[in-house]
Amino acid sequence: MGETRHNWTKEDILAIYNKPLMELLYEAATVHRQHHDPNTVQVSTLLSIKTGGCPEDCGYCPQAARYHTAIEGNDLMSVQQVKAQALRAKSSGSSRVCMGAAWRNVKDGPEFDQVLEMVRTINKLDMEVCCTLGMLTENQARRLAEAGLYAYNHNLDSSEDYYKEVISTRGFEDRLKTIDNVRKTNVTVCSGGIIGMGEKVEDRAGMLVALSTLNPQPESVPINALVAVKGTPLEDQEPVSIWEMVRMVATTRIVMPETQVRLSAGRTQMTREGQAMCFFAGANSIFAGDKLLTTPNPDVNEDMEMFNELGLNPQKPFLKHVHPQTVEAEDSQYQALGENPRWSRPEHTIERNEVAKQKAKTTK
């Protein structure tokens, strides 16, 4: 096993991505076997703890309040509701729960305190807890770490260049800043992106450069295929082909050998054969549950049937990193600071986002 490389260039990554497929698959599967058990795949459950009404303008997202989509918004779930769902997920083979809230950034206050309690509760169920709550200060990252958070998800989505074509309400450097804040703690980093948003292959490579040159590299990288939702600016995008997905997974595996590569949104558009090829190419996690935040996902039973067919075993929790200790709220060293950080608002104009917003105004 060689040392992990942190100096990948776009040219290096494009050369890998564009290899003849059989060669690419062989190389990726070889790297995968050197670093992971090829018959083990982690099952994670994504819970939308606060859905819809988001002030951001991410072009792919049905939860952005400015677009007209069929999403029903919900207030923050209770700790008891989250606990019940986590127990259900655990009994069907999940070892990780990722809680997502449609927030621009975390704000200190009762809602964040409630999320911290959810983290404590799930960590005590011996499951890996991940959160995706938007931008985060260092103090907030430390409070999550103290509660027992295992991972924080904050996707880069695409290359720095193409990011500007998808989101105008925050900058790429804001994403990196939050990842950096998480890195100041023992919480692991989960960061990946979406293909099929109209980006070029160069942008996919650009995103992998941004992720693979982080030191350390993210412990987890979700690769999503866009699920084009009606009412969003990207509603008319054609689905990506399975070959693009396999190439993306294989390239991610080669440039980030230790990382958990996660097959995320878009699995309902993939056949079982296609998913098997992704596992061969180095994907070692899936998301379970009938919904991925708001978009459809295969049924848990179907996934278990697929695992049986392929001889795959669900990964146990805390296999790759230690189980964090939970510090109770009353013993906390880090109190709410009531910060009001200045995250950037580039507010450049993205034409298709503006069109979707105008359309929503006339249909709402």
Distance (Å, whole) CA 32 – CA 27: 9
Binding residues among 89-108 for ligand SF4 as defined by CB under 6 A:
102
Q: Which is nearer to ligand SF4, 212 or 224 (CB)?
A: 224
| The one catalytic residue among 66, 96, 120, 130 | 130
58 is catalytic: yes
Tell which residue, 333, 347, 317, has the closest CA to residue 146: 333
Peptide bond into 55 cis (omega under 30): no
| The one catalytic residue among 120, 262, 267, 278 | 262
Q: Which is nearer to ligand SF4, 49 or 288 (CB)?
A: 49
| The one catalytic residue among 143, 190, 204, 278 | 190
Q: Mask: binding to ligand SF4, 43-82, rule CB under 6 A, as x and -?
A: -----------x-x-x--x-xx------------------
The residue written with tokens 């001889």 in the block is 311
Cβ–Cβ < 8 Å for 288, 92: yes
Spell out where 191-304 has E strands: 193-195, 220-225, 260-263, 285-288, 291-292, 295-296
130 is catalytic: yes
Under rule CB under 6 A, residue 356 binds ligand SF4: no
SS3 sequence of 216-227:
CCCCEEEEEECC
Q: Which is nearer to ligand SF4, 16 or 221 (CB)?
A: 221
204 is catalytic: no
- 24: tokens are 């690419």
61 is catalytic: yes
Tell which residue, 203, 200, 194, 55, has the closest CA to residue 134: 55
Residues in a beta bridge with 240: none
Q: Which is nearer to ligand SF4, 58 or 223 (CB)?
A: 58
131 is catalytic: no
- 64: tokens are 């952005």
What is the DSSP secondary structure assignment for residue 334, as one 8-state letter? -
- Nearest distance from C-beta of residue 60 to ligand SF4, angstroms: 7
Q: Which is nearer to ligand SF4, 52 or 324 (CB)?
A: 52
| Site residues for ligand SF4 per CB under 6 A | 54, 56, 58, 61, 63-64, 102, 134
Show which residues are catalytic: 54, 58, 61, 98, 130, 190, 262
